[in-house]
Amino acid sequence: MKRVLITGGAGFLGSHLCDRFIKEGYHVIAMDNLITGDIRNIEHLFHLPTFEFYHHDVSKFIHVSGDLDYILHFASPASPIDYLKIPIQTLKVGSLGIHNCLGLARVKNARVLIASTSEVYGDPAVHPQNEDYWGNVNPVGPRGVYDEAKRFQEAITMAYHTYHGLETRIVRIFNTYGPRMRLNDGRVLPAFIGQALRGEDLTVFGDGSQTRSFCYVDDLVEGIYRLLLSDYAYPVNIGNPGEITIREFGEEIIKLTGTKQKLIVKPLPTDDPKQRRPDITRAQQILGWEPKVSRAEGLRITYDYFRSLPEEELYKAAY
Ligand code: NAD
Ligand code: UDP
């Protein structure tokens, strides 16, 4: 039985990856310090003999007993309000955390896949973004703590590949959504749906003309699974090229939820990227992958999930 370590395994994406690898017949070890994650995301796996949970900060030395075939490094605060609240931890998990994972991978002779991000392109001057674009990141702006941690993470991962011959994979993830996002993580989809459910107006930052491209979580997980098992070591974008302005997105959420509330304008955060859409040619060619779930379908599933939560979840603070 293959054994996989998933850091950030109690988070939104990490927990879906745990589910997928369990389904594929792997022994799964989830490692998480729960700083932005939630143990409830993986509680349903606790009874399985093929699932283990380590409560651990991966920025500190990692010890795992037994063999490992794969390490997926997903630990990191991921939403702007999270990484702005805990900027140093964000830099540490993207640097010390991946260094620990790479060292562990050498000892175990495991393959490493890292969760990189469309944020490595910063506020992109090339549109749509392909993997050969080097990006436009402000290293000393507020988002720099996340963007530069992820850029460093790519660099050190590639260095271990080049200099130590380690098997590595790099996925650049574009905005992904689905069940198990935290209603209060500040990202636009949970923000809008939470506001609609609480009967508040939906807060559009800036004039709402900035664009994003939203990928449903099952599509992302499929792309990651294929990339891990491929032999391709360079970065691969995984995302849904369906691009929409944030204002139009707000209108879609108003329609979906049937709320009587309206869109209101709030200040645009510093360095907020103006446009973002993945060029997925590489994923199509190398992995035979493209997204299957339409935004309408994915949003419906995600809305049903948020509606099913106990009411107190709607009013919880971020931490
Ligand atoms: P999340 O906050 O739900 O999950 C991150 C998990 O990492 C949490 O469970 C958190 O507790 C854990 N964690 C953070 N620091 C840790 C540490 N030092 N030690 C151990 N665990 C730690 O966020 P997510 O959306 O699931 O993102 C997961 C990964 O995917 C992140 O690396 C993120 O940068 C990347 N990513 C996500 C998206 C997206 O749209 N969701 C886009 C691009 C990249
Ligand atoms: N946004 C918004 N209202 C909100 C939260 C976010 O208009 O309540 C905007 C935000 O400024 C950005 C876009 O939605 O332009 C996506 O933000 P998110 O934090 O989800 O992701 P990221 O900026 O990291 O892509």
Distance between first and last Cα of the chain: 37
Residues in the chain: 319
Ligand 1 atom closest to Cα of residue 73: 32
- Domain 188-212+242-274+293-315, CATH number (from 3.40.50.450, 3.90.25.10, 3.40.50.1700, 3.40.50.1820): 3.90.25.10
Phi then psi dihedrals of residue 224, to 5 deg: -65, -45
Is 146 in the active site?
yes
Predicted-complex ipTM score:
0.98
3-state SS assignment for residue 13 = helix
Per annotation, catalytic residue among 26, 70, 83, 146: 146
The residues spanned by each domain of the chain are 3-177+214-238, 188-212+242-274+293-315
Q: Does the pTM of the predicted model rise above 0.90?
A: yes
pLDDT (tens place) for every residue of the chain, 319 residues total: 999 999 999 999 999 999 999 999 999 999 999 999 999 999 999 999 999 999 999 999 999 999 999 999 999 999 999 999 999 999 999 999 999 999 999 999 999 999 999 999 999 999 999 999 999 999 999 999 999 999 999 999 999 999 999 999 999 999 999 999 999 999 999 999 999 999 999 999 999 999 999 999 999 999 999 999 999 999 999 999 999 999 999 999 999 999 999 999 999 999 999 999 999 999 999 999 999 999 999 999 999 999 999 988 888 865 4
* For ligand 1, atom 14: residue with the closest CA: 76
Topology, domain 3-177+214-238: Rossmann fold (3.40.50)
* For ligand 2, atom 20: residue with the closest CA: 187
Q: For residue 25, which amino acid is it?
A: G
CB 98 within 8 A of CB 157: yes
* For ligand 1, atom 19: residue with the closest CA: 57
Q: For residue 15, which amino acid is it?
A: S
